[in-house]
Structure 1
């Protein structure tokens, strides 16, 4: 811990930041302005050093940015100040780009890393408001409110989400995702409320308060690397718990005019606690022992086919050659095994049921899916026969093991093109399904499990590889989608299947299938 603290606090970037901050304090007329300067020169660079592998180019660019922030307090020329503020704006822009890059390397898969990504993106918003303040841009607010918004996005929208992300690397519970969602939405909701609807500002602060106090409770239940770190982090969160109450009173004053909390009071009390207790103490707490990320890289194969499928080869009898590769077939009825290995012998009748809340979006999406001839499901819930064929795909084009395309149609309209393959990770075999899209491919990695009642479950939810991803170029991005299939044998020798999909955990689609053996011939053309 001591070694890491010494390394971070005495790094070239941190020493330069402290030097420029002390120099700035000699030329700053209003002491409260130093709260933002402290974030720009010390707190933000310190936190970034815990997230980015610092190279020589990073050091030089950060020094240039720090010099620009310092010179703002001594350069009288408005043109010069605009140029200096623009340099800082570019710094925040590149931090935001790094946050975007982190996000697209992983996607919606890790609640601890998500606030770190979003926090880095929010910093650019803070940079924009700071530039507007220095350049005298008419934002519709007074210069002081513009400056307060800039400091809001440095502390509440950058430092706090980064701290929350580090905390998530140590703690995992059902409450944590709610806290993350509330805190990440808070800065934007408050800003919108201030601009357009004071009541929204008041409501969002209430939600924010509940999230912060939930975080304080979790922090006292979480084990940190050291007792000293636990003291610092808990103290920083308690400071937020105190200052947020006065933010509520200030928001109530804006919305209802019932309580009077002046900006001067907020600057002195709220600003001091956020800058010194939350900012300085919290940052030092994480610098003592920054928790490592638990995110692992995905190494499973991904289809290289993009756009429309071309060059489908000879016919294949089933979606898989041997279902036993995925699951113990002894626990399943023969009908389920036969369907997957001899799929061409079966007939599918589907009933599509969109959730009521999603139907307006489904109608909009229908036009796009019809043009793509992909994921082109009917809007009506009327039972509809789906004809299909299964064709081999050139493994050299696809890049995966023994791929085959399942092309489904409704009345000669292609509704679904899925290229089936498989891969093995740590002794378990997964279905690896690609749905070609323009310039990309949607990848579904499903794990198969036999249930006690003889049903087969295929799910994108599970530890490790399972999930739904978007592959574009070399980037694999996990989508906030999940799917769940359950297939059962019926007494008549057929099958039923239920396919459910969710977005951000909210159900939006259900497809019920009736599957019956219909003969040896393919039931439809490509």
Structure 2
């Protein structure tokens, strides 16, 4: 049993509902989404992923569809809440599939994240449907509950999924900002409708920017079948028209200069969103479902993970008799990304790290300091990634220990343990790997029952060196990941090290970190060879 077959069969259910339903016509907007558009779009998602959906999902959907049918052909009964539960539970199952889909990949490939979020948002629509049918007190009118259910089925499920399909075909730089707008707007509009007409107006304006961005993208795609190209353009353009009337409606509520009735909005949006946007979109994307274009990371990861406390004791039983002086045996292994013009002191630091002393100034961004203070309570006990809250210049001491490669699973692994006084700051396990002709620095930081993996690419600028997790190409391995067992999850962090020689034997380095592309931490290092006098 496939969702495609169920969606087509449910057209018969919709006809039965149209004939026998005692409810107003506009109830069909939500019902058609529930029993036709949702299963058809789920079928497209799983086809594009080239994966089978959980075997039980379509069978549970049959139960949910029949329950929706009963609700729509009967008047209010004491059993309405229980009849609405199967569909709500089904949306929870879909959300779980979306969440698992996200966990298998992480914060990578924004177009896939759009699809994940569409599946997760569907539960909100299911919850409002349950609230309406069960007459659950939400503080809002029953009509508003129903309209919010419609809103989250079309604007928060169908639209992000369609935008995700679009991103699989064409993803220029500004697709990122369009996607963020599309994901935030349904929540912003719902908040505005509920609490503030001004917020509603601003949210609609934001929505317009996102929707017209998608329209522009849809007209820029060249590699599409003519039928699909035409239907998907019509689908997105329909939203471009309907959102303008939403703007007029919101503007009228704020200025009181003119008024568009809710009845007109129901008629207009009912036809535009249900028939043109949703139906044309489903048919258009069904012509040829864009395939997911990401592959699971295949680079080696450390097998090690910690327990509640990491610290230096973590290394017990994991070391061997090998001796390393530096983080790298020979920097030439990173050629051709670096060459002979690299600063001799930079090169020597990485090959003879224990021959250097480090002074560090940790600088948390103001917006992140409350979180850093809370995190510090845990990191102090965990003895890992345990950075001071103060920006005072402090010396980091430590040593390098050889790690048993067979136990770790990577090659030439060594641990660099850094301390401030006797407080462990970092326990980092260094290795490297090659992929597509490039050598990456492969770093593991053991965490409780997991490990943070930093894959850095090295780039040379004159005599200076940059190590970064930012991808220069879409298929690069670089990034920051969370490893739990054999599962790898891309985190929304980025980091970069810029290392520069001040004079022979003295370096300065800057370590910068970003969260969702927003900087939150920088560490300024002064690095001195042991025979050089430090400036404290």
Report TM bin, short chain. over 0.9
What's the TM-score once normalised by structure 1's chain length? Answer: 0.93
Q: Which residue in 2 is equivalent to 1:231? A: 230
User: For the residues of structure 2 that align with 1:59 and 1:281, how far apart are their CA atoms?
Assistant: 23
Instruction: Work out the CA distance in 1 between the residues paired with 2:228 and 2:486.
Output: 38
- Aligned match of 1:294: 293
Taking the aligned partners of 2:371 and 2:257, their CA distance within structure 1 comes to 41
Partner of 1:524: none
Q: Residue deviations 1:125-179, cap 9 Å, x none?
A: 0000001111111111111111000000000000000000000111111211111
Match of 1:323 among 331, 347, 369: 331
Confirm or deny that 1:341 pairs with 2:346.
no
Secondary structure at the counterpart of residue 20 of structure 1: helix
**1:205 positional shift:** 1.1
1:35 aligns with 2:29: yes
Distance 2:191 2:442 in 1: 42
Secondary structure of the residue aligned to 1:330 is coil
Secondary structure, in 3 states, of the residue corresponding to 1:477?
A: strand
What are the equivalent positions in structure 2 for 1:350-499 lying under 5 Å apart?
A: 350-451=360-461, 453-462=462-471, 463=473, 464-499=476-511
* Contact 1:236/1:277, CA 8 A, preserved across alignment: yes
What residue number does 1:4 align with?
none
Give 3-state SS (helix, strand or coil) of 2:399's partner.
Answer: strand
Mind listing any 5+ residue stretches in structure 2 that lack a counterpart?
47-51
Does 1:159 find its partner at 2:152? no
- C-alpha separation in 1, matches of 2:470 and 2:238: 38
Q: Confirm whether residue 516 of structure 1 aligns to residue 528 of structure 2.
A: yes
Partner of 2:106: 107
Secondary structure of the corresponding residue to residue 19 of structure 2: helix
**Equivalent residue in structure 1 for 2:6, among 6, 9, 13:** 13
**2:49 equivalent in structure 1:** none
1:215 shift after superposition:
1.9
Matched, 1:48 2:56: no
CA distance in 2, matches of 1:126, 1:459: 41
Post-superposition offset of 1:329 = 4.4
Deviation at 1:516, TM superposition (A): 1.4
Closer, same or farther in 2 for the Cα pair 1:498/1:169, shift >3 Å? Answer: same
Q: Note the C-alpha offset of 1:81.
A: 2.6
Shift of 1:319: 0.9
Q: Which one is further off, 121-130 or 436-445?
A: 436-445
1:324-346 per-residue CA deviation (whole Å, 9 max, x = no partner) reads 22234423232222211111111
**Alignment correspondent of 2:315:** 310
Alignment correspondent of 1:204: 203
Offset, 1:376: 1.7
Q: How does 1:123-162 map to 2 (within 5 A)?
A: 123-162=122-161
Equivalent residue, structure 2, for 1:72: 71
Q: Distance in 1 between matches of 2:132 and 2:507?
A: 66
Question: Structure 1 unaligned runs (5+)?
Answer: 1-6, 521-526
Shift of 1:99: 0.6
Distance 1:40 1:143 in 2: 18
Report 1:260-271 matches (<5 A).
260-271=259-270
- In structure 2, relative to structure 1, the CA distance for the partners of 1:412 and 1:429 (3 Å cut) is same
Q: How many pairs does the alignment contain? A: 512
Deviations 1:247-274 (A, max 9, x none): 2233234444443222111110122101
Question: What secondary structure, in the 3-state scheme, does the structure 1 residue paired with 2:340 have?
Answer: helix
Question: Aligned partners of 2:339, 2:172: CA distance in 1, in Å?
Answer: 35
What CA distance in whole angstroms lies between the structure 1 residues aligned with 2:67 and 2:411? 55
